[in-house]
Structure 1
Amino acid sequence: MAGSVPDSLPYDGGWCAMGRDVLTRPALPPPCTERYGRHGEHVVEVWPAPRARAPVVLVVHGGFWRAAYDRRHLRPMAHALASRGYMVVVPEYRRTGAGGGWPGTFDDIAAATDAVGPLALRYGADPARQVWAGHSAGGHLVLWAAARHRLPVRSRWHRPPAGAGVLCLAGCTSLGLAALWDLDGGAVRALLGGAPARVPQRYALADPGWLLPAGVRARLLHGTADAQVPLAMSRAYAARARRLGDAVTLEELPGAGHFAPIDPRSPAWPRVLAAVADLADTGAPAGPGVRSADH
């Protein structure tokens, strides 16, 4: 990674060994597939819950918003969550290099998150108990989706608070820092069509840090040895969110690399399960951001 990325990422030789193999690990396809729109990428993979009124976990994949990565690498995680009794929903969305970017990626995530409640009702789960989880760039997308009520009312993406708890796993929580640090060789510039100085209004609408306080209960899990998205980014987001009154917690995973939080075989997995259970059981109480209609 080029740019001013912090060079003090601790490494204890442990969890980093649990690396990128989760991206290509074989896993059974989902029991069900649904559509949420007309485009070829507007699909969601669904693992129905084994019991009625179960919580729903939406999981959005990462890959720096690029077409090279798709939803299939989350199937091991989705199977593991489903085995715990959750209904699991994994959407696809348009990424850069395949029709995504500004504004298509955001159109898709808005539509996909809007579809979770109706899908829960269709499959007998509880639409009032939603957890939106996202890994890496997916972490950015679920934080953004949960803060859409903070967008100007005239925005195409504005909607009332969804009431979902948010779990951000090794998340790209600041588009400004991602651009400054040049993460993944210009990934954010490809997503938004330029640097912050060139398209500042897009960054203001797309960066979750600009939409705080969101009034959303969020948990951030981030490995101390993450070489793709530095832990410093989650620390900065959590500190700012708490200063503005949001119920945001950050749990640092000692020695964990970027992919550990989505790998059911990693030592990080029990902490992910605990965070999902916490958010599913306690909901997402409203905070200052919910009371403010515009930004």
Structure 2
Amino acid sequence: MKTVTYVINSITLAVALSTLTLVAKVHADSSFSVNSTYADTHDNNGTHYEESRSLSSTEDTHTNEEKKTSDDTHVNSAHANSESSAIYPKKISQVPYSALGVLPTSEADEQFSYGDDPLQTIYTWHGRSSTNEKYADKALIFIHGGCWLNAYGYEHAKGMYHALAELGMGVYVTEYRRVGDEGGGWPGSLDDVTQAISTALKRIENEGRYTNIYIAGHSAGGHLALLAAQRLSSSSLSLSRANIKRIIGLAAITDIQSYAMGHNSCQSATAKFMNGTPEDVPTAYQRAAPSPTHGGLPITLLQGDADSIVPARHAVLSGTNQKIIKNGGHFDWLHPESTSFDALLEVISEHDE
């Protein structure tokens, strides 16, 4: 009898353990998601980008600066571009800075100078797609951001350049002197960007490879792109005759006076760039404020409504068109898997005639 009881107890225990294992496995499978949390602090003399975000392919928990959380399910945006979706099928938002460093990249096809300083260089990625003709005749002249500081060069957005080239577009990326470089800051950085755009336009015209040209800048680079286009429009170089279709600001800083009064790390760098506060050098700040009504070219400002570095109010600028991306973050524009990147492609596709 004891033997029978022992056998029964052993079987019961085995069944129980098997059931617990199965339940644990089912629970683990149901809760698993591709979810990596990034926390980046990139220092430069006490100034840094700060981002702490979570990315996943389905449901994400986003942590903002107040440590509040909300659940967000990412689906393909209504503005999703089919070409981009074919290469990068998952659509995300609130991309952390560190996520840019793991994107597929390629080295520039060529580079050329627009000045004597080594930083006065333009790096070019040519369109590589042989099957997609939609972007084959288009070129983007791009001004990178980074709080106007020399801690952030053109390299951090190489994943974006590579993705655009894979879609067939030419990408002309401007490097320029920034705060911390001799000759950088205000107005030297703007002088460099203006000369770079002019040089790139002449190069594109001489090569005859691209016929529809867009000028875009991200963050502080967007601020410089808007000002440079404004300068060139009033100069002897006619941007309208250069086949430029549109100026595009990606989270561009448009109100530099109010931006200088903020307290995040990039806002705190504004006085370094301008060599003083709005009270110290008011005339310089007035000259550093974009005025689209004086430019003559159509401008579209693209902005995420959850950007913690450049507030969404910077997309409200008289004389421009605006597109606001729900839950869009500051670095989303540089990530080909994002809804913001799709919005950029949509703007280019809309205005290619």
Q: Which residue does 2:186 correspond to in 1?
A: 102
Query: Which of 269, 278, 282 is equivalent to 2:350?
Result: 278
State the distance in 2 between where 1:17 and 1:182 align: 21
Q: Secondary structure at the match of 1:189?
A: helix
In 1, Cα distance between equivalents of 2:327 and 2:164: 23
Structure 1 residues 142 and 17: CA distance shift in structure 2, 3 A: closer
Q: Shift of the alpha carbon at 1:159? A: 4.7
The whole-number CA distance in structure 1 between the counterparts of 2:290 and 2:329 is: 23
Aligned match for 1:169, one of 227, 230, 250: 250
Structure 1 gaps, min length 5: 2-6, 152-157, 242-247, 283-295
State the partner residue of 2:140. 57
Structure with more relative contact order (C-alpha pairs < 8 Å, separation 6 or more) = 1
Tell me if 1:197 matches 2:279.
yes
C-alpha contact (below 8 Å) 1:150/1:214 kept by paired residues: yes
Task: Kindly provide the amino acid, as one letter, of the partner of residue 202 in structure 2.
Answer: P
Q: 2:278 corresponds to which letter in structure 1?
A: P
- TM-score, with normalisation over the residues of structure 1? 0.79
In structure 2, the partner of 1:180 is: 261
In structure 1, the partner of 2:102 is 25
Query: How far has the Cα of 1:271 moved from its partner?
Result: 1.2
Letter in 1 for 2:200: V
Q: Structure 1 vs Structure 2: percent identity of aligned residues? A: 29
**In the TM superposition, what is the alpha-carbon distance from 1:253 to its structure 2 partner?**
0.6
Query: Alpha-carbon deviation of 1:255?
Result: 0.6
Q: Helix, strand or coil for the counterpart of 1:56?
A: strand
Whole-angstrom distance in 1 between the partners of 2:113 and 2:70: 42
The separation in 1 between residues aligned to 2:153 and 2:96, in whole angstroms, is 17
Matched, 1:112 2:196: yes
SS in 1 for 2:348: helix
User: Residues 31 and 129 of structure 1: is their aligned pair in 2 closer, same or farther, counting only changes over 3 Å?
Assistant: same
Superposed CA offset, 1:69-126 (max 9, x none): 0001121111111122221100100010122102210110111010122221344323
Match of 1:68 among 148, 151, 154: 151
Query: Residue 213 of structure 1: CA displacement?
Result: 3.7
Q: Return 5+ residue gaps in structure 2 as ranges.
A: 1-46, 48-65, 75-91
Distance of 1:11 and 1:221 partners within structure 2: 24
* C-alpha separation in 1, matches of 2:150 and 2:166: 29
Larger-gyration structure (1/2): 2
CA contact (8 A) 1:36 1:115 kept: yes
SS across alignment from 1:212: helix
- The equivalent of 2:329 in structure 1 is 257
Change in 2 beyond 3 A, CA 1:55/1:258 = same
- Tell me the matched-pair count: 258
Cα shift at 1:185: 4.7
Q: What is residue 25 of structure 2 aligned with on the other side?
A: none
Q: Aligned pair 1:35/2:113, yes or no?
A: yes
Structure 1 residue identity aligned to 2:218: H
Q: Hey, what does 1:229 align to over in structure 2?
A: 310
Cα deviations by residue, 1:34-65 (Å, 9 ceiling, x for unpaired): 11111010111101245898222111100110
Q: Which amino acid aligns with 1:166?
A: I
Q: Secondary structure at the match of 2:306?
A: coil
Contact map agreement 2:259 2:267 (CA 8 A) in 1: no
Are residue 266 (structure 1) and residue 350 (structure 2) matched?
A: no
Say which is worse superposed, 21-30 or 79-88, in terms of deviation. 21-30
Q: Which amino acid aligns with 1:112?
A: A
Maintained 8 Å contact 1:77/1:263? yes
In the aligned structure 2, how far is the partner of 1:29 from the partner of 1:43?
14
Supply the RMSD in Å over aligned alpha carbons. Answer: 2.7
In the alignment, which of 77, 85, 98 is matched to residue 160 of structure 2? 77
Q: Look up the SS of the partner of 1:268 in the other structure.
A: helix
Distance 1:12 1:223 in 2: 18
Report how far residue 176 of structure 1 moved.
1.2
The structure with the largest strand share of the pair is 2
